[in-house]
Structure 1
Amino acid sequence: MLSTYLSYNLIDRDMSRSIGRVADDAVVAREAQYYRETIGKISTVEEFLDDYRVYSYAMKAYGLEEMTYARAFMRQVLESDLSDSDSFANKLEDERYRNFAKAFSFAGNAEAQVKPDIQSDRQTEDLIGLYDVSVQNAGRAYAAEFENYKARIGQITNVDEFLADRRLVEVALKANVIDTRYYSADFLREILTSDLSDPTSFANRPENRNYLSLAQQFNFQADGSLASGVPAQTAEQVRKTTEDYLFDVPDRIVPLAADLMTSYFNEKIGTITNVDDLLADPKLVNYLWTAYDQPASLTRRADIRAALTSDLSDPTSFARTTPNSALREMARLFNFGTDGEAIGPAQTTEQRTTLNRAFMSNYDNAGERRDATRESVFRSAMATVNSVDALMRDAALYNYVMQAYGLDPLTETKDAVKRALTSDLNDPNSFANQPRNARFRGLAEAFNFGADGLATTARRAQSEAQVNAFTADYLERAELLGLTEDQAETEVRYYREQIAKVSSIDQLLADRRVVAVLLQSQGYDPEVIDTRTLRDVLTSDVDDPDSFVNTQSDRSLRLLAASFNFNTDGTIDREVTGKVQSEADIIQTEEFYLRQTLEEEAGLENEGVRLALYFKRMAGEIKSPFDILADPALQQVVRVALGLPQEIAQSDIDAQARMIEDRLDLSSFSDPRELDKFLVQFAALFDMENNNFQDPALALFSSNAGAALGADMLSSLAQINRRGF
């Protein structure tokens, strides 16, 4: 009979091969096939418990075979709300029950359940973020059109040149509140070449009154030409057109407009000699109200006058007694006497600088409040939307979404938008994937509508349950990876943020930080598994026996592949609904079953081998002496390895825990080399205790014995034997 360690080592040194041998057994393979074929048809706990072959297979896989009879007990476990710390499964000290419940997506395990979702949380946050970006982009776009108009209009020599430049025309139309969707060049030519002094001219006709202001801002003659030395627009006409465009078309004060308003204020304030001159200029008054985030109102100019003419040394003055702190602050920034006349300059340089800073800080507050309201409306509305038609019927919701993706709801047809939203993005021939429709791609990615316009599941590179599992594994390995808790938490946050944004295998592989967490969380070295190999793994079809992962010696690669949702072409598939187990959990259950079977078979030959295999499998779960004492198998391994008598089990539990702490460094089990040393010690002492130790000299004649154990180890074991341990 081989020694315990030799037998253990023969199995453990190539665990994938050992597991594969068990998997090839006809009976084991038949049970695995039945489980895989049947679990996909089960939808309730009752159906699961009623199918004894499926139920018992899973129970054995999770080390709960001895509890298979307790169906009522296990029903409570499977129906437990795992998010509730007081639920049945969570209150059980044995973690195996919680792990068992987590492997299935019954009602209690909300994390693992996959449901149709028109927008995932990440998609919602991304859309809102894009809306905020679109606001900034719109500000830059208005500024670009403003500058282009000023630079280009001076080069226009006739009406046809003007009408041929769509950018110029649209600025002029928008500045005059004219819809840019419905106009013709011929019609505008008639307007712009009208004789405005003739009451019967085209522009003066009653039906064309809306275009009269447009005609008044240009100087084209009846034939469309310009008189000698006369520009298409004078400097004043250019100023009016561009400022009307910049100040009136956007629904907020854009940055360039804020700069122009500040320049105007600073230029004009130097000419103000009394408070009434200031109040007579609406632009100056608006600047004040905006600087202090006050609602503009002509009826409140009296309040401004009272504040600016207050004697600040008089505690009974208006500025000192008004509850409006903005008015008190304004009073400090001007130098008007109680008679309204300026005492010296109306503002000093320091006062003007303070006011300018207040304005630049607050000029967009009203716009930001509107955006916050729109965001709130969007979030609330999305909670009730159940179809693409419902989304498109809600004008506020629809406009918000369209703006986020830079699409004009007035020019894009709803038919095109609907076709984009219901496109299958994995189909290269779908509407949103056509080059001419590229502008719709981002919009289509933001929602999860099926071809029927109803909600379907999201496309996620990795499910929420798998993300949680991977990040938890990474945090557990932090110390072994040489990371502090804060460093590990930082990497986990980064992984969570970025994996939710991954839209293809290429995007994932390009982010080395994500790849590092992905691999290290599962015990792989990022320096060993190269990009090509990882691509082959993650794009493998785990159900295809000829796929990459199914032809590798490392069986764990199959589980890694199943933990992600990549298609073989690197695109991301939608999550599948209606399954009580994900593909990854099915594979995990299969692997657990095979490992349990392997250990059982090993135990038939040598119980010490089974104990050693079990201990190595569970070592990562040992956090305290009580984890050992709660598990009879772990307790036996530790007792034997430490040379403790069997009677020690009868002593006080706390005393046993202290004894283990004094003699054993539990953290060393995270180091594979230290764990192997411990198991060598256990195996040697187990053989001595059970009188089944083989002379190492005989082991030399066993196949591969030297390779398995090594000369130094054989020598050490021989010395142990001679010492009488």
Structure 2
Amino acid sequence: MVAIVRSGLVLVNCALWGRSMISTYLGYVTATKDMATTLARVAKQASVKSDQQYYDTHIGKIKNVDEFLADQKLYSYAMKAYGLGDMTYAKAFMKKVLTSDLSNSSSFANKLTDNRYRQFAAAFNFTANSTKPSAQSDAQKNDTIGLYERSFANEATLAKQESAFYSKWIDKVANVDDIVNNTRMRDYVLTAHGLDATHISKSFLKSVLTSDVNDPNSFVNTASNFSSTSAQATYKLIASEFGFKPDGTLSGATAQTEQQKEALISRYDNTVPTLTTLASATSNDQYYHQQIGKVRSADDITGDNRLFSYVKSAFGVSSKVTAKQFSLAVSDKNYAAVTGMTEMVSAFNFSPDGSLPAGQPAQTDASIKTTSDKYMAHYADARQTLFKDAETHYAAVVGKIKTINDFFAANDFQSRDLPTVQEMALRAYGIDKNEVSREQLRKILESDPYDSKSYVGSLNDQRFVDLAKAFNFDSKGHLRPAVEALPLASMNSFVSAYSKAKNLRIDGPDARKGRQGCEGRGQQFHQVDRQGQER
């Protein structure tokens, strides 16, 4: 790590040799009025003022230890600040000090008995053994994974909040437009059935909700209105959960009976959160037993997202398997074998076209029990996939990222069921994949999150700033050194050196004021460094 003291301004950046040491100001401590008055006499001295101005102007241009040592005026000023002025001539010796690894007790600086050398090395740490830049440091990686895990708990909490809102407002609905024109209500209904509200028009949903499922000529019973028979089954299910007349008014006292409302809320609470708890699993199992006897075709399975998810989980099939893939597996045994769905398909009595032979149920009693037992035994497997497997994969892939293009790469075939780096990162920072395009996300990651005037700063959204801070891409999408917090020892060293330099040649009452001012500014510096890491 490279840390530079700049007369009250501290710049920190993990840098490589040959790269600019300074990319971002992590801390700036303003002078107090008393301090300015106290130091006025010393600051007016031409030589002191000149040296300080030179240091402030040139320290940011230094790229490596050789440049630092070659600039005599800069180098000597720094040496004097640490009380090492009498060793300014010994550049070879000081280079060994500056390139010492302070984490190694056997390094050159750590073997010296004079503590000033270790302080100097900590302040100007041109570590010879600098590691190559990476897309994320270990700390950034751990933070992202931690936020990713937390997002699942947040998801369940938010689901409960949405359900409380829905439960309150559905009883007040007097017309279908009260749902269709209310974004939150509309999203709730569609999300509960695994549908993306952004792809469904208000007029289409209104036609669904005002359909009579018992009328063969109604909107939901007209196959040409839907992209597939499975999609038709989904919307037919939605229509059956509400009581609206064709004109949009209520057919009963409320838009839903108490039983319908409880069923929809249960569907939302048990399918929207990604992780399934024991309580949710038990509820899903009960739902399966209630519904399986009503199934008349494969579309009745795939058209009910809760039932379909249950079946896939029971037989260990990827949650990403679509209705179309399930239908192909039912119709083609070879496809089922290749895709690992043979056992799942064999548990049902569907004909190749997805229908049931006359008089036969979707499953025998034995198959129902087997499916139920499998589900209760394997529902928690998703936790292994979402946490341990996903996090292990994430850590491995992030470590191989060379440019920003790798951030957007898809998983290989073996890891196809795991979330990608992009998916995990967006989820960790609370960003929906539909909120930003790939090009916008690229611009966010290539922005300087510490510059309020940068692209990411102009968005005024802390989530995007935090995401940009979590990765180390420069403006061209290449890796850059990571910005890290200063170690406490280094901060204390900076404060101590600053205090000594500022109180040079000050006696009496002025010295006491100077020390008090430096202590105050030192506390501010510690606070600014912490805030810089928290933002």
Partners of 2:164 and 2:39 in 1: CA distance: 72
User: Which residue matches 2:452?
Assistant: 427
Q: Aligned AA for 1:185?
A: K
1:308-329 deviation line (CA, Å, top 9, x unaligned): xxxxxxxxxxxxxxxxxxxxxx
- 1:182: Cα distance to partner? 0.8
User: Which residue matches 1:107?
Assistant: 127
Is the alpha carbon distance of 1:553 and 1:20 closer, same or farther for their aligned partners in structure 2, counting shifts above 3 Å? Answer: farther
**TM-score of the two chains, using structure 1 as the length reference:** 0.42
5 Å matches for 1:646-665? none
User: Which residue matches 1:187?
Assistant: 204
What is the RMSD of the two structures over their aligned residues, measured on CA atoms? 5.4
User: Which residue matches 2:99?
Assistant: 79
Partners of 2:210 and 2:49 in 1: CA distance: 88
SS in 1 for 2:104: coil
1:191 and 1:215 in contact (8 A); partners too: yes
- More moved, 242-251 vs 119-128: 119-128
1:173 and 1:214 in contact (8 A); partners too: no
Q: Aligned AA for 2:268?
A: Y
Partners of 2:420 and 2:121 in 1: CA distance: 43
Partners of 1:120 and 1:212 in 2: CA distance: 48
Q: Aligned AA for 1:401?
A: A
5 Å matches for 1:208-607? 208=226, 209=229, 210-216=231-237, 217=240, 218-227=242-251, 229=252, 232-253=255-276, 257=280, 366-367=382-383, 370-385=386-401, 390-393=406-409, 396-421=420-445, 422=447, 426-427=451-452, 432-433=457-458, 440=464, 442-443=466-467, 446=470, 463-465=485-487, 467-470=488-491, 554=514, 557=517
- Between 1 and 2, higher relative CO (CA 8 Å, sep ≥ 6) is seen in 2
2:174 and 2:249 in contact (8 A); partners too: yes
User: Which residue matches 1:134?
Assistant: 151
User: Which residue matches 1:340?
Assistant: none
Q: Aligned AA for 1:399?
A: E
1:641-695 deviation line (CA, Å, top 9, x unaligned): xxxxxxxxxxxxxxxxxxxxxxxxxxxxxxxxxxxxxxxxxxxxxxxxxxxxxxx
1:360-401 deviation line (CA, Å, top 9, x unaligned): xx9978537623433444444444446655445567222223
Partners of 1:408 and 1:168 in 2: CA distance: 19
5 Å matches for 1:553-702? 554=514, 557=517
**TM-score of the two chains, using structure 2 as the length reference:** 0.54
1:90 and 1:98 in contact (8 A); partners too: yes
- 1:149: Cα distance to partner? 3.6
Aligned counterpart for 2:179 among listed residues 162, 180, 188? 162
Is the alpha carbon distance of 1:46 and 1:189 closer, same or farther for their aligned partners in structure 2, counting shifts above 3 Å? Answer: closer
1:82 and 1:109 in contact (8 A); partners too: no
Q: Aligned AA for 1:469?
A: S
User: Which residue matches 2:162?
Assistant: 145
1:129-164 deviation line (CA, Å, top 9, x unaligned): 443443222112222333444444444444333323
SS in 1 for 2:276: coil
User: Which residue matches 2:29?
Assistant: none
Q: Aligned AA for 1:212?
A: A
SS in 2 for 1:181: helix
2:69 and 2:75 in contact (8 A); partners too: yes
Partners of 2:37 and 2:392 in 1: CA distance: 57
1:402 and 1:409 in contact (8 A); partners too: yes
Is the alpha carbon distance of 1:51 and 1:373 closer, same or farther for their aligned partners in structure 2, counting shifts above 3 Å? Answer: same
Is the alpha carbon distance of 1:19 and 1:108 closer, same or farther for their aligned partners in structure 2, counting shifts above 3 Å? Answer: farther
SS in 2 for 1:81: coil
Q: Aligned AA for 1:402?
A: L
- 1:41: Cα distance to partner? 5.0
Q: Aligned AA for 1:184?
A: S
Is the alpha carbon distance of 1:41 and 1:248 closer, same or farther for their aligned partners in structure 2, counting shifts above 3 Å? Answer: closer
Partners of 1:30 and 1:195 in 2: CA distance: 87
- 1:22: Cα distance to partner? 8.0
Q: Aligned AA for 1:80?
A: S
Partners of 1:179 and 1:18 in 2: CA distance: 65
- 1:187: Cα distance to partner? 1.5
SS in 2 for 1:242: helix
Is the alpha carbon distance of 1:96 and 1:244 closer, same or farther for their aligned partners in structure 2, counting shifts above 3 Å? Answer: closer
Partners of 1:193 and 1:409 in 2: CA distance: 32
Is 1:177 matched with 2:194? yes
Partners of 2:515 and 2:93 in 1: CA distance: 33
State, as a whole percentage, how many aligned pairs show the same letter: 32
Q: Aligned AA for 1:427?
A: S
- 1:42: Cα distance to partner? 4.7
2:134 and 2:399 in contact (8 A); partners too: no
User: Which residue matches 1:711?
Assistant: none
- 1:183: Cα distance to partner? 0.8
